[in-house]
Amino acid sequence: MRQIIYTTERVNSKPAVLKDGVLYVMPHYNLAVHRCMCGCGEEVITPIDENGGRSPGFWGWTADGINVSLHPSVGNFQFKCRSHYFLKNGKVQWV
Ligand SMILES: [Zn+2]
């Protein structure tokens, strides 16, 4: 599998088409959305906070403009793929 380096895009609402390799951040809604990193195409929506993801049910994210981290891990057990991964410094790390 080719290695995608993730970046962020700030958007006001969810784009109609999500690109691979982009974590879309919607600060207005405290949400982020990305396509499942396994490549299955499912949309994964994660509530985000500015608190580093310390609130239960929320994820924290960091980005330095080039790469992005999302934590804790994302577990897509509701999808067929059941993928589970971390996004760290722009790279997917499988659990
Ligand atoms: Zn998937």
pLDDT tens digits, one per residue of 41-90: 999 999 998 766 778 889 998 887 678 999 999 999 999 999 999 999 99
The answer to whether 80 and 93 have CB atoms below 8 angstroms apart is no
Residue 22 lies in a domain: yes
Domains identified in the chain, total number: 1
Locate 50 and state its tokens: 């500015």
* pLDDT above 90 (res 4): no
In this predicted structure, the answer to whether residue 1 has a pLDDT above a threshold of 60 is no
Ligand 1: centre distance to CA 39 (Å): 6
Ligand 1 center to 21 CA (angstroms):
13
SS3 88: strand
Classified as helix, coil or strand, 29 is: helix
Q: Long-range contact list for 39-45, CB < 8 A, 24+ apart? A: 39/1, 40/79, 40/80, 40/81, 40/83, 42/76, 42/79, 42/81, 43/18, 44/74, 44/76
- Side chain identity at residue 76, one-letter code: N
Residue 1 belongs to a domain: no
Output the CA 43–ligand 1 centroid distance in Å.
Answer: 9
Range of the domain at 44: 7-94
Give the model's confidence band at 2: pLDDT under 50 very low, under 70 low, under 90 confident, else very high.
low
